[in-house]
Structure 1
Amino acid sequence: MSGHDDADEVHALSGAYAVDALDTEERARFEEHLRGCPTCRTEVDELRGTAALLASDADAEPPAGLRDSILAGIETVRPLPPLAPATGDGSSAARTSAPTDRRSVRRLPFRGTPLLAAAAAVVLVALVGLAAWRPWAEPDDVPTAAERVLAADDATRASQELPDGSRATVVVSRSEGAAVIVTEDMAPAPDGKVYELWLEEPDGRLAPAGLMPDDSDATVLLDGDATDATGVGVTVEPDGGSPQPTTEPVLFFELEA
């Protein structure tokens, strides 16, 4: 190995050193280099600070398969050594041809030890896990539109029981501008038919508000703005629904103003 390559390899040990992934010989070699390289000392301090931050987010769960995919690709990436400060004659203190912009450097095939590859993988997994932690966690914490209606402070409820013992409840929230229907043991619509939902507007017109699923127990958010709706109706319509009711409602709920 030439002196140029040796300098590159020593610089590249900073990441592995920061996560304590060097063997005894490599550690001694790097610590000797560290005493005379302020750039590497700064980089190690920054990496250790990042590791401490990651440790405080130990509950973050990376997606399944992330570690394996990173380990599979890590041998194709070589960590860049730190840029040494320029001397008065414009040369680099560590290597005479060192570029001044890391973004312009093409990554070369990784030639480090397995320990260094593993250390790099650990750092990458931790960084990716931290960056993506909140996007993974937040969807479970965000209520659906139907859940917001059911939990709204101004939610009002109206229930009806059908002759066969099935039951339906309409919940409306003016602040959410939406209505939800909840059914229990509701019989399916006749063959070739479907239950269609309607919102009654202040002028008495019924506006289509979606179709009920075939499930006997269902919670369905009605389509349309229920802020000023005066009622909710359910009719039996041909499969696919109808732009206006073709039958009298089998259920109708008058809504509180």
Structure 2
Amino acid sequence: MTDHDQAPRGSDVHALSGAYAVDALDDVERAGFEKHLRECPACRAEVESLQEAAALLSTEPTAPPSELRDRVLAGIDQVRPLPPLRSGSTVAEPTDALAERRRRRLRLGRLPLLVAAAAVLIAAVGGAFWLQPGDEPKGPEITAAEKVLRAEDATRIAKRFPDGSQATVVVSRSEGRAVILTDDLKPAPDGKDYQLWLQTPAGELQPAGLMPDTRDTTKLLDGDASRATGVGITVEPDGGSEQPTSEPIAFFALDA
């Protein structure tokens, strides 16, 4: 007699794989399911897959996009259905306790879909949030700006403007680049651009790019910042200038 024959009629022992993977069975159910696992390669594979996915979810959580819930709920009806009853089998009228157990199993039976969806989300977008300063990325190559921000020798200099907006320059000598980050900085006047400059050790200002017309931005400066002594921002005509035409509205002195 196989475990399929020993299982109570009207129950689906296969549906317990999700509950077993997250340790949601009582002692009696766990013992029975573990006996079934010895005879069912499909359930063993499913339990191993779910436990691996659950291990991924044990890391620090990242907020999923709002549309994930709708996609998961829309796919619930694709969860593997209960197998058909064998010919001649009957289903006894469940007691309240048995009915509640079956409802709980039905909810837990949805775990494979939920765990899989969350694992896919983590694989797609989670990696970027788990990288700490100095870590090497395990996915696609990070951008030059991200390398500066995560560099071991990154130095930050912040300036706050009278209207409450802020700009921060981050420089990494090892990367030889600088990045500017703005917080609620109002756009340049019509017909004008904010232009960035790198100051050389000789005191000259060299063009380092134009700021985007957005209040919050992260911009990698053009040019070599490995020996720069400062970063300036000026207001220039649209398209920028080869030399500053006005005094800087902000200057960030860098350590030599």
TM-score normalised by structure 1 residue count: 0.49
TM-score normalised by structure 2 residue count: 0.49
Larger Rg: 1
